[in-house]
Structure 1
Amino acid sequence: MTPLHARRHQLKTQLLQSIDALEVEDAILPVEHPAIDQIICELESLNPIDQPLRPEHWPMLLGSWALVYASRGTVVTRRLGRQLPLPVGIQRVWQRLTDSEGGGAGIATENGAVLSLPFFGELTATAQGVWKPYEEGESARVSFGAFTVQATRLLGIAGLHLPQITVPVLEFLRQEALWITSYLDEDLRFGRGATGNLFVFRR
């Protein structure tokens, strides 16, 4: 193992141990963790894959990833923290990436979360969108075309097959955002939003 590989392995171990020590909500709600952010930045400088959004790297990029850390929360969790009077538990958050067109032109993304609501049960919310990578192979334009909500556990009763409610986003209302994939290896991935928010995903 080269010194570079050894340092990367050491930092990955430190990062995942630090994240695992947090409660799920603490890891993905807008709470500051500067020590974790510093490890992420150092790992980004040791990124083993240049241009991770180029099609030749998609076999490693595509698939299901669990969101384990967000430095400033997510769009959903920031709103939960501010607006809801009742505590909402976050069971898990994930992102599933697939080849949207079969020819390397775009990456379909499904961002999802399982939420537990007091006196109600569990709710699964997903957003379906697409990444359009730029030529430089690190950043992409992201837009979402539909949002889906489904109750998966109601009043403590599991195994229910309740209908999904899907709300399409009209094309003229769709907004695009910048997404940067700043680190990728076989089991760990970092993303950055336009505002610098850091996201850590793992297999």
Structure 2
Amino acid sequence: MVETETERATLKTELFRRVDALEPQQALFPSKEEFIDGLVQQLEYINPIPQPLQPKHLPTLLGDWQLVYASRGTVVTRQLASIPNFLGGIKIKQVWQKLATVDTQKIVAENGAEFDLPLLGEWQLKAQGVWTWGADEQVATVTFNAFYVQATQPFDQPSWSLPELKIPVLEFLRNEALWTTSYLDEEMRVGRGATGNLFVFRRSQTV
């Protein structure tokens, strides 16, 4: 038990050291970081909470999380990466996920991204959805029901902000996706999409 906790702490320290050394464009856009992927996989093998969707573990799962690493990028950053010369213009600032409970079988999720667009300033995109699950208390079915877009500092004017635009998704157009929480502790969480992409989250620090 003590040896496992020591190994876990050592792996996490090395993982965070390597992730912190990356620029956001490296950590959150598609890139090959095989050593980091290997560290994450080792942590998954010694996951202290293998069934994170059990009611008793929801307090650990819920809250505000910062995405610090995505092995193959995210849906948003993969699209940005396809734009020619995006590194010279579009800058990702942060990606986050907020999880809140509805009941013991449903979680409300908000995925957000903040980025700078050349000439247009700072913008924010958010997707709101729900997690539901059954007997498998590691895998959730995710459905998104609304998207939001807002210019938080249009044209790089700090004192300006435009109203948030909500784009609801009609029920018959909503797609489902599987999301596996493959590692969870008090300060770190790892998720995997249906294709096995790794997403490493770190709990947001409140001031």
TM-score (norm 2): 0.94
Give the RMSD, CA atoms, in angstroms. 1.2
- Asked whether the 8 Å contact 2:154–2:162 carries over to 1, the reply is no
Residue matched to 1:112: 112
Residue matched to 2:149: 149
Runs of 4+ more than 3 Å apart? 83-86
Residue matched to 2:124: 124
CA-to-aligned-CA distance 1:28-79 (integer Å, 9 cap, x gap): 1000100000000000001011201112111111010000000000000000
Partners of 1:178 and 1:43 lie apart in 2 by 21
Q: How does 1:19-168 map to 2 (within 5 A)?
A: 19-83=19-83, 86=86, 87-99=89-101, 101=102, 103-168=103-168
The 3-state SS of whatever aligns with 1:49 is coil
The 3-state SS of whatever aligns with 2:10 is helix
Partners of 2:92 and 2:42 lie apart in 1 by 28
| Structure 2 unmatched ranges of 5 or more | none
CA-to-aligned-CA distance 1:138-177 (integer Å, 9 cap, x gap): 0000010000000000122113241111110111010000
Partners of 1:152 and 1:96 lie apart in 2 by 19
Partners of 2:32 and 2:113 lie apart in 1 by 21
- Seq. identity, %: 51
- Asked whether the 8 Å contact 2:141–2:176 carries over to 1, the reply is yes
- Asked whether the 8 Å contact 1:152–1:159 carries over to 2, the reply is no
Residue matched to 1:169: 169
- Asked whether the 8 Å contact 2:52–2:138 carries over to 1, the reply is yes
- Asked whether the 8 Å contact 1:132–1:140 carries over to 2, the reply is yes
The 3-state SS of whatever aligns with 1:19 is helix
Partners of 1:182 and 1:159 lie apart in 2 by 41
Is the deviation greater in 9-18 or in 81-90? 81-90
Number of residue pairs matched? 201
| Structure 1 unmatched ranges of 5 or more | none
CA-to-aligned-CA distance 1:176-195 (integer Å, 9 cap, x gap): 00000000000000000000
Partners of 1:3 and 1:119 lie apart in 2 by 53
1:83 positional shift = 3.2
TM-score (norm 1): 0.96
